[in-house]
Amino acid sequence: MSTILDAIADLRAGRRSPVDVAKSALTTGVAIGLLLILLFPVYWIVTVALSRGTTLSSPGSLFGDPATYTLDSFRWVLENESFRRGLLNSLIVVTVTVTVTLAFSIPGAYALSRREFFGRRKLLYGYILFTQVGAGLSIAVLIALYALFSGIGLTNNLLVLGLFYAAGAIPFNTWLLKTFMDNIPVSYEEAAIVDGASQWQVMREVILPLAKPGIAAVLVFAWTAGWNEFIVAQTLIHDPDLYPLSVELYGLIGDRRGTSWPQFAAFALLFALPVAIIYFLAQKQVESGLSFGGMEG
């Protein structure tokens, strides 16, 4: 807004020529236009969720009729039995994933960051290799694991599912946390030791509090991994009572005739919202985790 007012003031005072202002307006317009095209799917799914009884086979407006927008579909989802069950299952899986991830990656990251031990460099290098691939390997090994698990009765188990997600992301999370701990000055630990703290106290009183932002980032990654994952869940869970939300959502789209589009859209949005909210609250940490802080320039 202030940009526009400044531009008008500059024009009046003759500091900028009309052509110059027009150029800026045009470029900004192009950028906004591109943005609108890119964000069309998001806008569309929101309007579908708000509209009544739109189906994809009706020639009406693509965005329904704004006069009849309603929250009925969201209410339907929140009262829906399969949504509630799916939510509970998803929360169980996510809890397991987050707990296991933190329990296993914090000590590992501390050791890799602060200790010298046999094979440390090799292990770190191996972990870094595995940070760059996740989903694909999971699906490749899923074939073997599915056969084994169904043989020994470990399918249909939400704990196993959560453990699987945590295990697959250990290299990434350990390494992310390790790079974070590398930036904590050793002098804090030295000071604590001079004051007579034990090893255990140093970890608990010095490292953990200082590594909080890094731990938060790992928590976000673990949480979203457990919440978002679909194909492993669909393979290892056969009992509809144990479906997490992602599998329920897929079921809605697979069942063409029975799905009312507004209900599907509302379900999808309610599934995606927690992730989007967490993501944008923790955007700084997430971005540092994505670019690994390693690609500056």
**Which window, 71-79, 117-125, 204-212, 215-223, contacts another protein (CB under 8 A)?**
117-125
- Comparing CB distances to another protein, the nearer of 30 and 71 is 30
Cα–Cα dist 244/88, whole Å: 8
The 220-249 site mask, x for binding another protein (CB under 8 A), equals: ----x--xx-xx---x----------x--x
Cα–Cα dist 93/296, whole Å: 36
The CB-of-35 to another protein minimum distance in angstroms stands at 6
Burial 215-235 (b: 16+ CB within 10 A, else e): bebbbbbbbbbbbbbeebbeb
Interface residue with another protein, options 14, 136, 185, 258 (CB under 8 A): 136
Residues, the chain = 297
Query: Contact between 150 and another protein (CB under 8 A)?
Result: yes
Interface residue with another protein, options 193, 210, 216, 219 (CB under 8 A): 193
The CB-of-36 to another protein minimum distance in angstroms stands at 10
Query: Contact between 115 and another protein (CB under 8 A)?
Result: yes
Cα–Cα dist 232/247, whole Å: 10
Query: Contact between 45 and another protein (CB under 8 A)?
Result: yes
Interface residue with another protein, options 154, 163, 184, 216 (CB under 8 A): 163
142-147: long-range contacts at Cβ-Cβ below 8 A with a sequence spacing of 24 or more?
Answer: 142/231, 142/232, 142/235, 142/236, 145/236, 146/235, 146/236
- Comparing CB distances to another protein, the nearer of 75 and 120 is 120
The CB-of-99 to another protein minimum distance in angstroms stands at 13
Query: Contact between 111 and another protein (CB under 8 A)?
Result: yes
**Which window, 67-75, 81-89, 212-220, 289-297, contacts another protein (CB under 8 A)?**
289-297
Interface residue with another protein, options 58, 68, 70, 183 (CB under 8 A): 58
Cα–Cα dist 278/292, whole Å: 19
Give which of 242, 86, 80 is closest to 155, Cα–Cα: 242
Query: Contact between 128 and another protein (CB under 8 A)?
Result: yes
Query: Contact between 177 and another protein (CB under 8 A)?
Result: no
Query: Contact between 184 and another protein (CB under 8 A)?
Result: no
Give which of 34, 67, 39, 44 is closest to 269, Cα–Cα: 44
Cβ 261 vs Cβ 272: under 8 Å: no
The CB-of-72 to another protein minimum distance in angstroms stands at 19
The CB-of-14 to another protein minimum distance in angstroms stands at 19
> In terms of DSSP H, where are the helices of the chain?
2-13, 18-38, 40-50, 72-79, 81-114, 120-131, 135-152, 158-168, 170-182, 186-194, 199-201, 208-210, 212-228, 231-236, 245-254, 261-281, 283-290
**Which window, 28-36, 67-75, 81-89, 204-212, contacts another protein (CB under 8 A)?**
28-36
